[in-house]
Amino acid sequence: MAEALSPARQGHLAMLAFSALIAGSFSLGGQIANEISPAALNAVRFAIAAAVIAGVIAARGGGFRAVAVAPWRYFILGGLFAVYFVTMFEGLKTAPPVSAAAVFTLTPVMAAGFGWLMLRQATTPRMGVALAVGAAGALWVIFRADLSALLAFEIGRGEWIFFWGCICHAAYTPAVRLLNRGEPVLSFTFGTLLACALVLLVWGWRDLAETDWAGLRPLVWITLVYVAVIASSTTVFLVQFATLRLPASKVMAYTYLTPSWVILWEMALGQPVPGVLILAGVGLTVLALAMLLKDEGAG
């Protein structure tokens, strides 16, 4: 079936799956963020994720040689990813999952900017309006639908920390296309994950040594496996697959669906549903995605 789809539609399907899978990181991460160091958790998750992709490459007959070509590229991408994920879990210590997901939806605006700086990818007027609508919805959720907090620009500590990680994620998207030299997506994904794991192992070695791994409750291990296999190996592959087929701003546009998916995850995990005013902000992010897809002609 995939052969019948255009490259652009393949990219859209990849990012639809990405948005659903990445949402689980926010809901699960929010429940265990205060039980393990973000650096330790992410060092282990990316080591596992790299091992999973390495196993897939080996099963397909190899492809590791491509990673040895200009390995500095992977450390740039892996470093950006390391900052993003550590700040995500650090931010979830105080930020509600839906609010953190709303911060994540600011990345399309920043990705459009980085896409122009790195690749000279232009933003159409419709895309500009859609990005503005999505950003407005995200800000409404981030400020908990509190107009006075919005006017005073009172941002929670967790949201502010995660925002800096989202800047790195936004830069990562066009950087993939800029740095890719035609390597197979799996090989490029493996190089990125391996470099990210090495960066985090150096960065978080003290936290790794001090963590009481045997004393962690089962949910922490469930979250670790999920973020390693699903929210790392799979989603990094999906983003890189889509980035080679869509403009950076369109790839990141699917982050607009993340708050909606997070709400479903929260409901499934027995958490309360956000208020109507906050849901209105989430609705704006979905509207922004619809506008972007209409602009693409692949709705």
Per cent of the chain over pLDDT 70 is 94
Examine the pLDDT at 224 and tell me if it is beyond 50: yes
Chain center to CA of 240 = 12
- Of the two residues 160 and 128, the one the predictor is more confident about is 160
Q: Which residue from 227, 170, 235 is spatially nearest to 47, judged by alpha carbons?
A: 227
Higher pLDDT, 179 or 253: 179
pLDDT band, very low/low/confident/very high, at 298 (cuts 50, 70, 90): very low
* CB distance 177 to 27 below 8 Å: no
The answer to whether residue 299 scores a pLDDT higher than 60 is: no
Which candidate, 104, 32, 71, places its Cα nearest to that of 181?
71
pLDDT at 1: 42
- Angle, to 10 degrees, between the axis of helix 7-32 and the axis of helix 276-296? 160
When pLDDT is averaged across residues 83-99 and rounded to a whole number, the result is: 91
In terms of average pLDDT, the best of 52-56, 150-154, 264-268 is 52-56
pLDDT(201) > 60: yes
Q: Tell me: the pLDDT tens digits for 203-212?
A: 999 999 999 9
Predicted pLDDT at 232? 76
- More confident position, 115 or 41: 41
Residue 273 scores a pLDDT above 80:
no
- The average confidence (pLDDT) of the chain is 85
